Amino acid sequence: MLKRIFNKIFYSPTIMSWAEQVTVIMHGLVITSIILVKFDNVSYSFWMTIKALIDFALLADAGFGHTLERSVSFFFSGAKKLPRNIKEYENSNEVAGEPSLDRLYSLLCTSRGIYLVLSLLTIILLGTVGTYTMWNLFEMGNQSKEFWITYLLMGMQSFLMVQSIKWRSFMKGMRYVSDLSRFSTLMGVIKILGFLILLMNNLGMVYLQIYLVTDTIISNLYLRQFVAKWFKSRGIKIGSSFRIDKEIFSSLWSVSWKSGINTMGYFFTTRGINLLTAQLKNSSTMAGFFFTYQILGFIRNFAHTPVYAHYPEYYGLIAVKKFKEFKDDIRSKLFLLFAITISGFLFFGLLGNFFLDLIGTDKRIVESGIFIILSLYLLLDLHAIVHGTVYISTNSVPFLIPGLLTGVIVLIGGYLILPVYGLFGLVSVQLLANLACNAWFSTYLSLRLTKWHFRVYLYDIFIGGFKYWINRTKETINKIVR
């Protein structure tokens, strides 16, 4: 019985993904607490800004990562062809079956050349726009050699991270989410220990960044080996072919360029305020905002886990139009997403400064008005992400222009309003721009696709989801009592 319970935990995508997120949160609580004490405001702001710039560098992925994962999931479910748009998807007659090995191998070969080009694009982005964005902090740090070396190492890490997207996409698309999360959890625990050793020995951010580069190299080697072993067990040696399948590339490109532009707009909507905040001259305000945003991000990512771990399965269900099975599975997970996000945000908002006092730092979370607006934006955005991810399973990206315009409005509007109304004005622009379209459009498209009436959807999520977890809790208690 114990072995059965252990296997259920060990091979559960949701539980393993949660374990991964727990290590991320523990890293945030433990390592961030030490960094808050050991780094001054400028150094902490610099460290947090280069973390945001890694996300910026990953824009070089140009939407191929998500498209690749969905494509792998399609072929793994037995599909022989990728739809290039919503019409091809609606006219397709794909049925579930054995993985299409030849299509998966062709997809892997095609992705090699794509990701070599994308990795080089990462370096160009960081060398130009990235350096310009960081210049204010370089100046505030008196052009510190430590800052420059850390930045260059971050560029190397970003190059390698783009390469790892390819292997992660294959693992997730082939339903090995639990294996990927198990490995990430192990690396997360080791990273916490590694950072603790470095920080306790008063080694600065250069050494932390060297560790991160090493961590990324090890991850790339493991992920590649895992995918290679899967193909080898089925009689295929992956080799190093860069042969491009024109049909697959055409399907990938037809949605990737749109997804890439949409991702760029989304980046400026979510992370643009981080880059704008980095232009402030008040290092204390800057540090408080970055800390608040980081912890809210940890909570949100943890809440996203129940749904995130099952995206590959949802791609497969949408591919063969099994909408009822999809709705039955996702509703309880969406209820959990809302419950964790709201309770986590409330807990942090009420007790955040208390815990900062406990660790002996003078840094503070943002004031209550900014905190409420930021929390509301992050909650609505997370909900929209879920439905947007579901809808683009069809390889259609109809929210391209709205997403891009939202990012432009946040970036330009935030830039203009920041000197006048400060952070309150900045986060208000972000929320209002999101409410104009992003917060509801992807949800509308997803519910229409899956034939889920909005009132029924609300009942299924909040009432049905609540009842589901009550029943699951009762069943668990009964099993323990017996």
pLDDT of 297 above 80:
yes
Overall pTM surpassing 0.85 (yes/no) = no
For the stretch 36-79, pLDDT in tens is 888 888 888 888 888 877 877 776 555 676 777 777 877 887 76
How many residues comprise the chain?
A: 482
Distances in whole angstroms, Cα of residue 392 to Cα of each of 66, 210, 437, 445: 9, 37, 17, 10
Q: Is 235 exposed, middle or buried (0-12, 13-18, 19+ CB in 10 A)?
A: exposed
The span from the CA of 384 to the CA of 265, in Å, is: 14
- CB proximity list for 24: less than 8 A, separation 6 or greater: 188, 298, 301, 302
Our measurement of the distance from residue 133's CA atom to the centroid of its chain's CA atoms, rounded to an integer in Å, reads: 22
395 and 259 Cβ atoms separated by less than 8 Å: no
Contact 446, 304 (CB under 8 A): no
Please tell me which residue, 313 or 339, carries the higher pLDDT value. Answer: 339
Residue with tokens 């992920």: 223
16: CB partners within 8 A, 6+ apart: 10, 177, 178, 179, 181, 182, 185, 309
Residue 2's pLDDT band, with cuts at 50, 70 and 90, is low
Report how far apart, in Å, the C-alpha atoms of 193 and of each of 21, 115, 298, 368, 479 are. Answer: 16, 32, 19, 34, 37
Structural tokens at position 53: 């710039």
Confidence band of 84 (pLDDT split at 50, 70, 90):
low
Residue 437 has pLDDT above 90, yes or no: no
Does the pLDDT of residue 94 top 60, yes or no? Answer: no
Cα 478 from Cα 482, distance rounded (Å):
6
pLDDT, tens digit (0-9, with 9 covering 90-100), for 190-246: 998 999 999 889 888 899 999 999 999 999 999 999 988 988 888 888 877 667 777
The dihedral over CA atoms of 442, 443, 445, 450, expressed in degrees to the nearest 10, equals 140
Q: What pLDDT does 197 receive?
A: 92
Residues 307 and 331: their CA atoms lie apart, in Å, by 9
Determine contact, residues 465/408, Cβ cutoff 8 Å.
Answer: no
Q: How far is CA 293 from CA 348, 367, 374, 375, in A?
A: 11, 12, 8, 9
SS3 361: coil
Token pair listed for 451: 């034939």
Q: Per residue in 5-27, pLDDT tens?
A: 555 555 566 666 667 767 777 77
pLDDT-derived band at 370, boundaries 50, 70, 90 = very high
Q: How far apart are the first and last CA of the chain?
A: 13
Q: Name every residue whose Cβ is closer than 8 Å to that of residue 19 and which is 6 or more positions away in sequence.
A: 181, 182, 185
Which amino acid is located at 453 in the chain? H
The Cα–Cα gap between 136 and 281 comes to: 8
List all residues 6 or more positions away from 164 whose beta carbon is below 8 Å from its beta carbon. 216, 219, 220, 223
Mean pLDDT of 112-130: 81
Where helices occur in 92-204 by DSSP H, the ranges are 101-125, 131-140, 145-173, 177-200
Q: How far is Cα 75 from Cα 96, in angstroms, rounded to an integer?
A: 10
**pLDDT tens per residue, range 156-202:** 998 888 888 888 888 888 888 778 888 888 888 899 899 999 988 98
Q: How many CB atoms lie within 10 A of CB 281?
A: 9
Taking Cα atoms as reference points, which of 230, 276, 264 lies closest to residue 408? Answer: 264
Taking 90 as the threshold, does the pLDDT of residue 457 lie above it? yes
Place of tokens 């970036």: 411
Cα 272 versus chain centre, distance: 16
Report how far residue 207's alpha carbon sits from residue 212's, in angstroms, rounded to the nearest whole number.
9
Q: Which residues of 365-386 are buried (b: 16+ CB within 10 A; e: fewer)?
A: bbeeebbebbbbbbbbbbbbbb
The 8-class DSSP code of residue 463 comes to I
Residue 397 has pLDDT above 80, yes or no: no
Dihedral angle at the C-alpha atoms of 423, 429, 430, 435, nearest 10 degrees?
150
- CA distance to 24, 46, 84, 188, 299, per residue, from 184 (Å): 10, 26, 32, 6, 18
DSSP characters over 345-358? HHHHHHHHHHHHHH
Contact 114, 247 (CB under 8 A): no
Report pLDDT for 44: 84
Output the pLDDT for position 440: 87
